[in-house]
Amino acid sequence: MWIAAAILLGSAYQANEARKSRQQAESQQRAALERQAADQAAFQTKLSEQTSVFGRQAGALEEQARLAKEQLASTTKAMSEQLSVAQDQLALNTKAYETGVSQYEASRMEMERKAKEIQAQIDEERRKAAEQQATQLKARTRGGRRALLSQERLTPELGITQDTLGAGMGMQ
């Protein structure tokens, strides 16, 4: 009986120890679950904070991208307008240059034509002067003493001392 009581007491003691051990394991498991739940809550809080921060950053980046796109569009438009103005100015300058060149060519051709006319007039005057001198020389050497071709007529500073046709009186 002592043995049975010892066995019973030993069993009760073991059962008590097993119950204590089980309760301690349950409390440790509860504490671990509570810590895990708290860690998970903290993780969820940090995750939501980071998500919020990343969302704001994404919004800011989208706004920057939109502004950059608008600036690029306006810059491209301005540059296109400047290019168009420059092309128009180039066309005007080209047209003005071509007009200037054609006016220069027309002016040059007109000047050449006038120079040829003047040269022709000069040549004609030279020819007439040479013809007149030749006629006067011929008249002096072959003609006699005719009033219009006489030596007196050729030297006007002496004046005409003889009567000539048409005047009726001589100058003295």
Does pTM top 0.75 for this prediction?
Answer: no
Pair 143, 149: CB distance under 8 Å: yes
* d(C-alpha 155, C-alpha 136), whole Å: 13
pLDDT, tens only, 40-78: 999 999 999 999 999 999 999 999 999 999 999 999 999
Pair 164, 147: CB distance under 8 Å: yes
Strands (E), the chain: none
Position 112 scores a pLDDT of: 96
Give per-residue burial for 46-71: e unless 16+ CB within 10 Å, then b: eeeeeeeeeeeeeeeeeeeeeeeeee
Q: Quick check: helix, strand or coil at residue 153?
A: helix
Position 150 scores a pLDDT of: 55
Answer whether residue 170 shows pLDDT above 50: no
